[in-house]
């Protein structure tokens, strides 16, 4: 299984998951044109559209892609009125298996009430949308601090070498926040150098891994709800 990172809008990432027969799923297509361009240039057939949540910068390409490729749109059941063109309503912990694509859904509220992630266990791919970022976590718009903290705890249960594909390129700014409030973290210092090097070459800083985030992500390293909540408030004004 191959992952192609598709840059969209200003700082969004959509992801094409491509099997050996050149069939694909796309995760969170912010817009349709960059996705279509890659599909057409590489003669790839789009089968499914996987949405992590309903925000427009994650579903903006749904309508055009569905119409052009007759692809099925998947999203969480509680977002069935908010995700455009949705066909298939997913439930928490459901295992979805079709064609070459097998993944499990986990409900991870906090950023939005119906936010989910997609876990490809065999490939160790985890698509976290706007809940877990490289060195950060999402803003709390519809959920609660308790929900977001609980959702982040779930990620600690995945294998450490799981690759994380998140919704935005926020890593450098997130690293500055982590450095300010975790100044003695030597692994973070090493990570920041790597991040700056990658960005200087025009490369994405994604994917990261569960292990890297456990070592360096101050929100994932928060040991209790009170600490997490204070950090989340500080980040909102950083």
Residue count of the chain: 238
**C-alpha distances in Å from residue 220, one per residue of 165, 178, 238:** 16, 11, 18
DSSP 100: T
Q: Is 29 in contact with 60 (CB distance < 8 Å)?
A: yes
Annotated domain spans of the chain = 2-236
Backbone angles phi and psi of 150, in degrees to 5: -65, -40
First-last CA distance in the chain:
38
Identify the CA nearest to 162 among candidates 117, 108, 223: 117
* pLDDT tens across the length of the chain (238 residues): 999 999 999 999 999 999 999 999 999 999 999 999 999 999 999 999 999 999 999 999 999 999 999 999 999 999 999 999 999 999 999 999 987 899 999 999 999 999 999 999 999 999 999 999 999 999 999 999 999 999 999 999 999 999 999 999 999 999 999 999 999 999 999 999 999 999 999 999 999 999 999 999 999 999 999 999 999 999 999 9
Nearest to 32 by CA among 66, 2, 3: 66
Q: CA 8, CA 14: separation in Å to the nearest integer? A: 7
Pairing relation of β-strands 45-50 and 23-27?
parallel
Instruction: Give pLDDT, residue 98.
Output: 85
State which fold the 2-236 domain adopts.
Answer: Metallo-beta-lactamase; Chain A (3.60.15)
The residues, ordered by sequence, that sit 6+ positions from 94 with a Cβ below 8 Å of its Cβ are 104, 105
Closest by CA to 157, choosing from 112, 217, 212, 214, is 214
* pLDDT of res. 110: 95
Residue with tokens 């094409």: 16
Label residues 139-163 b or e (16+ Cβ within 10 Å = b): ebeebebebbbebbeebeebeeebb
Q: Residue 8 phi/psi, 5° resolution?
A: -135, 155
Q: Residue 228's Cα: distance from chain center in Å?
A: 20
Give which of 101, 113, 121 is closest to 27, Cα–Cα: 101
How far apart CA 177 and CA 174 sit, in angstroms, is 5
Angle (CA) 129 38 3, round 5°: 45
The pLDDT of residue 68 is 97
Whether the model pTM is above 0.95: yes
Instruction: Give 38-65 pLDDT, tens digit per residue.
Output: 999 999 999 999 999 999 999 999 999 9
| Measured distance CA(113)–CA(54) in Å, rounded | 10
């Amino acid at each position: 299984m191959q992952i192609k990172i598709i840059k969209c809008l200003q700082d969004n990432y959509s992801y094409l998951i491509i099997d050996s027969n050149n069939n694909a799923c796309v995760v969170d297509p912010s817009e349709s044109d960059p996705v279509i361009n890659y599909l057409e240039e590489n003669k790839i057939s789009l089968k499914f559209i996987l949405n992590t949540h309903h925000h427009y910068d994650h579903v903006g390409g749904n309508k055009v892609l569905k119409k052009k490729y007759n692809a099925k749109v998947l999203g969480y059941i509680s977002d069935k009125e908010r995700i455009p063109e949705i066909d298939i309503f997913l439930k928490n912990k459901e295992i979805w298996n079709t064609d070459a694509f097998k993944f499990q859904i986990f409900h991870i509220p906090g950023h939005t009430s119906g936010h989910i992630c997609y876990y490809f266990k065999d490939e160790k791919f985890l698509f976290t949308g706007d809940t877990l970022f490289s060195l950060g976590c999402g803003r709390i718009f519809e959920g609660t601090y308790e929900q977001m903290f609980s959702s982040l705890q779930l990620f600690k249960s995945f294998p450490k070498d799981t690759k994380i594909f998140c919704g935005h390129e926020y890593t450098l700014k997130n690293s500055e926040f982590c450095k300010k409030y975790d100044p003695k973290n030597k692994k973070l210092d090493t990570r920041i150098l790597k991040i700056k090097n990658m960005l200087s070459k025009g490369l994405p800083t994604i994917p990261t891994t569960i292990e890297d985030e456990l070592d360096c992500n101050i929100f994932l390293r928060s040991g209790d709800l009170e600490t997490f909540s204070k950090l989340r408030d500080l980040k909102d004004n950083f």
